[in-house]
């Protein structure tokens, strides 16, 4: 799964790397993004890439928000089997910006947080879906897949990561069928990723500080 991530990359770098056409005003670095918070996301509309905020935790348009537990993740292998997702995969695909995500590794002294990045330390995006709830709130969920060899010692699932602009176009543009786009829903190559232990500050979503992404003392 993916229950916490970061986005510390300056907006101007995201605009350049991901060829964003329309975007919100600059945003502050986020070191410990948690469910129910606003997250920077990207859709394709009328041939343009538009970035803005969604709320992390999907609430389907047909569900009552006050009675629904928001869905922060969706298993990519079963999207067509789930009423919450199967209508979204055709026209409500999006991506979510990140430059690292966290999982917790069990140990003798309890679970310790681990941060995962690309070896290049460049930003990337998670494949995601979105919907608009009955009261107009736009919500989103991050797609997951089987973990690669870097993530699997810590967790058996990982978010679907896209980094290439051609892949992002295929996922965002509804002219590509879900059958085509679903070929992207696979583990990111382990040879291009790295991980390191971080402070237990990450354990609390109240802590959104630079120390969250710094390597933990040995």
Q: Is 131 inside a domain boundary?
A: yes
Tens digit of pLDDT for each residue in 113-165?
A: 999 999 999 999 999 999 998 788 999 999 999 999 999 999 999 999 998 99
| 178 confidence band (pLDDT: 50, 70, 90) | very high
Task: Specify the pTM.
Answer: 0.95
- Examine the residue annotation and report whether 103 is marked as an active-site residue of this protein: yes
Annotated catalytic residue within 12, 77, 103, 180: 103
Q: Is 218 inside a domain boundary?
A: no
Tens digit of pLDDT for each residue in 200-213?
A: 999 999 999 999 99
Q: Using alpha carbons, select from 115, 106, 77 the residue that is nearest to residue 211.
A: 115
Q: What is the pairing mode between strands 73-75 and 138-146?
A: parallel
Q: How many domains does the chain have?
A: 1
- Examine the residue annotation and report whether 212 is marked as an active-site residue of this protein: no
- The contacts of residue 103 (CB under 8 Å, 6+ apart) are 2, 113, 114, 116, 151, 154, 155, 158
- The CATH number of the domain holding residue 96 is 3.90.1680.10
Q: Is 76 inside a domain boundary?
A: yes
> Which residue range(s) make up the domain with 166?
5-213
Q: What is the DSSP string of 184-200?
A: G-SPPPGGGEEEEEB-G
Q: Is 19 inside a domain boundary?
A: yes
Q: Is 58 inside a domain boundary?
A: yes
What percent of the chain is helix, strand and coil (3-state, nearest 5)?
20, 35, 45
Q: Is 72 inside a domain boundary?
A: yes
């Amino acid at each position: 799964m993916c229950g916490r991530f970061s986005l510390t990359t300056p907006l101007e770098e995201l605009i350049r790397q991901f060829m964003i056409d329309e975007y919100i005003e600059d945003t502050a670095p986020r070191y410990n993004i948690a469910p129910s918070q606003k997250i920077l996301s990207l859709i394709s509309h009328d041939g343009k890439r538009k970035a803005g905020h969604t709320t992390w935790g999907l609430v389907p348009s047909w569900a009552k928000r006050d009675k629904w537990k928001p869905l922060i993740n969706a298993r990519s292998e079963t999207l067509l089997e789930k009423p919450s997702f199967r209508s979204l995969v055709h026209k409500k695909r999006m991506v979510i910006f990140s430059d690292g995500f966290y999982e917790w590794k069990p140990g003798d002294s309890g679970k310790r947080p681990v941060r995962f990045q690309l070896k290049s330390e460049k930003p990337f995006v998670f494949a995601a879906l979105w919907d608009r709830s009955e009261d107009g709130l736009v919500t989103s969920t991050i797609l997951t897949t089987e973990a690669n060899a870097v993530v699997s010692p810590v967790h058996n699932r990982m978010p679907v990561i896209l980094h290439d602009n051609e892949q992002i176009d295929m996922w965002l543009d509804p002219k590509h069928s879900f059958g085509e786009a679903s070929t992207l829903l696979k583990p990111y190559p382990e040879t291009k990723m790295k991980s390191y232990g971080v402070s237990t500050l990450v354990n609390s979503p109240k802590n959104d500080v630079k120390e969250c992404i710094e390597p933990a003392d040995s």
